Amino acid sequence: MNWKELTDVSQLAEIKELSKKQPVLIFKHSTRCSISAASLNRMERKWDDSKAQNLEAYYLDLIANRDISNAIEQQFGIYHQSPQVLLIQNGKCVYDNSHFGISFDEVIENIKPVAV
């Protein structure tokens, strides 16, 4: 799997626009947290490109970019947690989970068909 790094607040506008064509995953990771490391590891081990299809995955280092996490909370209306995954489609968060609730299979199950 290939994470795209989320390092600038301006990328959120790009993510919203991209999410109108394909689902986008944001993984909010704290590099200081063992639970976050375990959740990230589990996500990467379970990742299956054939199931993920066109899911675009972004990785946010919360320690280096807390301002982006704050902007995510504000723009998508999802309370900040760490670790946390958000599934973005049509410019909105359609699914989120945190800590040991983070699961690749659940993310995939929550992808909605793209409206044409």
Q: Residue 25 region, left (φ>0) first, then alpha (ψ -120 to 50), else beta? A: beta
pLDDT tens sequence across 35-73: 999 999 999 999 999 999 899 999 999 999 999 999 999
pLDDT tens sequence across 96-109: 999 999 999 999 99
- Fold classification of 4-109 is Glutaredoxin (3.40.30)
Q: Where are the domains of the chain?
A: 4-109
pTM: 0.94
For 82, other C-beta atoms within 10 Å of its C-beta total 19
How confident is the model at residue 3, as a pLDDT?
96
pLDDT-based confidence at 113, cuts 50/70/90? confident
